[in-house]
Amino acid sequence: MEKQKTREEKVMNLRILELDKLIREEHYPSTAFLCRKLEVSRSTIMRDIEFLRLRYKAPVEFDKEKNGYYYSDNTFFVKSVFLSEGDLFTVSAVLPLLNQYKNTPIAGTMTNILQKIASMLPEKVSVDSEFIAGDISFISDPLPVIAEEVFYGVFEGIRNKCSITFKYRSLKDEEYKPREADPYHVVCQKGNWYVLAFCHKHREIRIFTLSRVKDIKITSKKFQVPENFTPSSYFDGEIGIWNNREKPLNIEIEFEPGIKTYILERKWHKTQKITKRKNGNIRLSFQTNQIQEVANWVLSFGACAKVIKPPVLVEKIKNEAQNLLKKYETL
């Protein structure tokens, strides 16, 4: 019964849009003409016209001499966005996700787009739902701010295939240094934005973090992206982005029973395999070349995670653990 009602409402909504179009575009359409075009009865047309007046405040008038309908305000049109309760709930749930992009101009642009969509909605929208946006909270990571001219400058360089000059501060540097590069591809990882670009100084493709760029300028120098350039070879979509073009290694990490459920309920990598050990531990294996990113991730589990292989990752974790212990020896 509920499905039938929903279907009838959708049919009516579409018919209202068509009725609005006929009144605007046809020259004083008559009731008989509207009945033929919409394939409905005279009483349905009369109800729909009354609905237009009440629901949308449509200035529908009837000209007796011309025997047809018209809008007394020729700028009027039905704001043709119909949202179901489920649609509205989805919108209310998704809006807070824009916080993940508050460090970029995208947030402002998306807000403007949503405002334009909202302006197309009827003046009043009634939703009978127990779900409201206030019932949902989203927690995003703290993100560095990206200057608007930097964000759009990088994309302009990519679009026009023009080299860019800028000042850049690496993770370990305190001062900005001049750079010139050919921007090839932009990557966003968890709200952090990077550009893969051919660095003129080092004569190789480097990864630049947009939040560490300033004073960007688009030059008149043109470049061509190499045919063999493959963005995915510079990062791992599941693990992260760290400048490393080495071949993927087999990673094996063993987790203690205390976080077993947490590990099992997630898909960490497209190549992953999970096996259960006799001692209750579980072993996660996958392939990636993002060793530093994996090391950071493993360390976040503390003593609950142990790297089995490869040796290079084992040594990296050992060194980090030893350095961490030294920092606390004097306390």
Which pLDDT score, from 0 to 100, does residue 126 have? 42
Helix (H) or strand (E) holding 212: none
Helix (H) or strand (E) holding 221: strand 213-222
**Dihedral sign of CA atoms 231, 232, 238, 240 in order:** negative
Which pLDDT score, from 0 to 100, does residue 127 have? 41
Least confident of 29-33, 89-93, 264-268: 89-93
Task: Please report which confidence band the pLDDT of residue 74 belongs to, taking 50, 70 and 90 as the band edges.
Answer: confident
Report the range out of 110-114, 216-220, 275-279 with the highest average pLDDT: 216-220
Nearest to residue 283, comparing CAs of 309, 303, 311, 315? 309
Q: How far apart are CA 145 and CA 94, in angstroms?
A: 22
Residue 23, burial from CB neighbour count under 10 angstroms (0-12, 13-18, 19+): buried
Q: Could you tell me the CA-to-CA distances from 158 to 59, 212, 239 in Å, in that order?
A: 49, 18, 25
Q: What is the pLDDT of residues 110-137, one digit of tens each?
A: 767 666 665 555 544 444 333 444 566 6
Helix (H) or strand (E) holding 137: none
Better pLDDT: 205 or 130: 205
Collapsing DSSP to helix, strand or coil, 241 comes out as: coil
Q: Classify residue 234 by its DSSP letter.
A: G
Task: Please report which confidence band the pLDDT of residue 307 belongs to, taking 50, 70 and 90 as the band edges.
Answer: very high
What average pLDDT does the segment 60-74 reach?
A: 92
CB-based contact 239:294 (threshold 8 Å): yes
Contact residues for 38 (Cβ-Cβ < 8 A; gap 6+):
15, 18, 19, 22, 44, 45
Which pLDDT score, from 0 to 100, does residue 181 have? 97
Q: What is the pLDDT of residues 155-196, one digit of tens each?
A: 999 999 999 999 999 988 889 999 999 999 998 887 789 999
Least confident of 126-130, 138-142, 266-270, 322-326: 126-130
Long-range pairs for 290-299: beta carbons < 8 A, 24 or more residues apart:
290/235, 290/236, 290/239, 290/240, 290/241, 290/242, 290/244, 291/242, 291/244, 291/249, 291/316, 292/242, 292/244, 292/316, 293/236, 293/239, 293/240, 293/241, 293/242, 294/239, 294/251, 295/320, 297/239, 298/253
Contact residues for 83 (Cβ-Cβ < 8 A; gap 6+):
91, 121, 125
Task: Please report which confidence band the pLDDT of residue 98 belongs to, taking 50, 70 and 90 as the band edges.
Answer: low
Alpha carbon dihedral 209, 212, 218, 224, in 10-degree steps, equals -20
Q: Classify residue 293 by its DSSP letter.
A: H
Better pLDDT: 82 or 267: 267
CB-based contact 48:60 (threshold 8 Å): no
Placement of tokens 């009725």 in the chain: 19
The answer to whether the predicted template modeling score (pTM) of the entire model surpasses 0.85 is no
Statement: residue 79 has pLDDT above 80: no
Which pLDDT score, from 0 to 100, does residue 118 have? 58
Q: How far apart are CA 78 and CA 14, in angstroms?
A: 11
Which pLDDT score, from 0 to 100, does residue 130 have? 39
Which pLDDT score, from 0 to 100, does residue 129 have? 39
